[in-house]
Amino acid sequence: MAQNVSGNAQNVITMKIEGEIAYLALNRPEKRNAINNDVLEALPEMLAQADRREVRAIILYGEGAVFSAGIDFTSLSSDTGAQSGSGGGPDLTRFRRFVHNSQSSLDALERIEKPVIGALHGYAGGLGLELALACDARIAATGTKMGMPEVRLGLVPDVGGTTRLTRTVGYAMAKELIMTARMIDADEAARIGLVNRVVAQGTQIAAAEELAREIARNAPLAVGLAKRIIDIGHNVDKGTFMDIEALAQSSLFQTEDFREGAAAIAQRRYPKFKGR
């Protein structure tokens, strides 16, 4: 049974919970789900509401014609301090605070110890693609266009874009995509590892659900810690990475879910994990 949970006052992100899956929807279809301060503030709040034991996976998608057109330029000046400050130039301190707050908002997708699957369609560019990159997996509908066009504006991807894109597709490909500002289609994105799989138009949410349910069959504490181990350990040395593994494993070794998993194997049955 679906459980609907309201977003912030503007409902720029809505959430519903159906069984073990929470669905978060960017809900500005009239603006092509362009991201403004309201969206950035609502995202961590909605993730906090989804962070409950019965939820085993989160699907993030966009209402309307596209996943997200990127930053909302109509609110860029007021939100970022790009308007002239008292000295006649832009308020750079305010701008840096906006960037930091935006980074923190997307970081919430990585901090939550639940898998987050982005279901992309239509278009995911700039900040919209940065949002998708903060998810653990990405499913793209055929025909989806995605890329980082910031250098066409004289800027660079600054909300984790250069960082996460490089970690996802590698140095050479990240440089090419960012420096050319090229938009690529879903098939090319899958070839370079930017998305996990490409599906028929209109089926991206159903495909994300299939992946979410496959993950949800496993022990949720182990899934959550596996996610955090990979995110934290990605750029550390091998020894530190393995120490993180050992620390996480020692924690999981004491859980009820581990005892249930071991018993289920011995008894040749499916385990019933409780997330504790």
Q: In the prediction, which pLDDT does 92 show?
A: 85
Q: What is the rounded distance in angstroms from the CA atom of residue 185 to the CA atom of residue 144?
A: 6
What the block records as the tokens of 4 is 């609907």
pLDDT in tens, 82-127: 555 555 667 888 888 888 999 999 999 999 999 999 999 999 999 9
Number of neighbours of residue 88 by Cβ within 10 angstroms: 6
- Tell me the per-residue pLDDT of 217-258, one tens digit each, with 9 for 90 and over: 999 999 999 999 999 988 889 999 999 999 999 999 999 999
Distance CA(55)–CA(115), nearest Å, equals: 10
**Residue holding tokens 């025909």?**
143
Containing H/E element for 48?
helix 37-50
Amino acid 80: pLDDT? 59
Name which residue leads in pLDDT, 236 or 144.
Answer: 144
Query: CA nearest 34: which of 80, 78, 70?
Result: 70
Phi/psi for 192 (5° steps) reads -95, 0
pLDDT (tens digit per residue) in 50-70: 999 999 999 999 999 999 999
What is the reported pTM? Answer: 0.91
Average pLDDT of the chain is 91
Parallel/antiparallel/unpaired status of strands 137-141 and 116-120: parallel
Question: 273 with 255: CB under 8 angstroms?
Answer: no
What tokens does 216 get? 């949800």
Annotated catalytic residues are 130, 150
